[in-house]
A and B are shown apart, each in its own frame.
Chain A
């Protein structure tokens, strides 16, 4: 499978801080970049997604920054809360296939 590289593997942030997770991809045919949140024992839930024709998308406390030339995108969680503690996955897909290539995941812990 084509790779999507995600970092860091784990992240600890204080309540109210900013959590930043980064992903890089290789295949320039990717044109849909979602972020998923997964709690233990549950399926992933879509947080926010972006297409390469925009450089940033914000929904509430979650922002995706996208750098097409660098083939990188990142998730920023503002005002991080303990309830945000979960595993976050970036992903990418081509066209409307919805066949996702996932990053390796980031375990986020937000300390109270």
Chain B
């Protein structure tokens, strides 16, 4: 299957700072990328959908000014958590898809801890 690389795998940041998470499709062009959030022992909750070159579509209840998503190229999407708070601590996972394949390919996730 196709490879999606997420970086960093773990990050610790101080309250009030911003942190950027990258999601790259290594061997295919991702027309659409998805960002999920997962709390311990819970399911994946979709945060937003991004299409290359256009604004992201956020799910209800997700603050778009807090979780900035950029999908500037067909191989890279970034999620920036702005003014992070301890309650933003979570596991963030991206997935990417192509127009040729129904399957969504997942990154390995990023564990964010805000202290």
Report the bound CA distance from A35 to B25 in whole Å: 21
Interface contact B109-A96, CB-CB below 8 Å = no
Interface contact B34-A103, CB-CB below 8 Å = no
> B46 → chain A, closest Cβ, in Å?
7
B104 beta carbon closer than 8 Å to chain A: yes
Q: Which of A60-112 contact B (CB under 8 A)?
A: 89, 93, 96-105, 107
Q: Which of B83-108 contact A (CB under 8 A)?
A: 91, 93, 95, 97, 99, 102-108
| Interface residue count on the A side (C-beta < 8 Å) | 24
Report the bound CA distance from A73 to B30 in whole Å: 29
User: Residue on A with the closest CB to B93?
Assistant: A43
Which one of A34, A41, A105 contacts B109 once the chains associate, using CB atoms below 8 Å? A41
Interface contact A43-B43, CB-CB below 8 Å = no
Tally A-B pairs: CB < 8 A.
65
Interface contact B34-A98, CB-CB below 8 Å = yes
Report the bound CA distance from A97 to B107 in whole Å: 18
> A78 → chain B, closest Cβ, in Å?
23
User: Residue on A with the closest CB to B9?
Assistant: A41
Q: Which of B45-80 contact A (CB under 8 A)?
A: 45-46, 49, 59
Interface size class of B (residues with CB under 8 A): 20 to 34
Chain B residues, CB < 8 A from A107: 41
For A18-51 the 0/1 string (1 means CB < 8 A from B) is 0000000000000010101000011111100100
Interface contact B42-A1, CB-CB below 8 Å = no
For B4-25 the 0/1 string (1 means CB < 8 A from A) is 1010000000000000000000
Interface contact A32-B102, CB-CB below 8 Å = yes
Interface contact B46-A100, CB-CB below 8 Å = yes
> A14 → chain B, closest Cβ, in Å?
23
Q: Write the residues of chain A forming the contact surface with B, with a CB cutoff of 8 angstroms.
A: 1, 32, 34, 36, 41-46, 49, 89, 93, 96-105, 107
Closest 3 CB pairs of A and B: A98-B97, A43-B106, A98-B104
16 pairs, CB–CB < 8 Å, chain A vs chain B: A1-B46, A1-B59, A32-B102, A44-B44, A44-B106, A46-B104, A46-B106, A49-B102, A89-B43, A93-B102, A100-B104, A104-B42, A104-B43, A105-B42, A105-B43, A107-B41
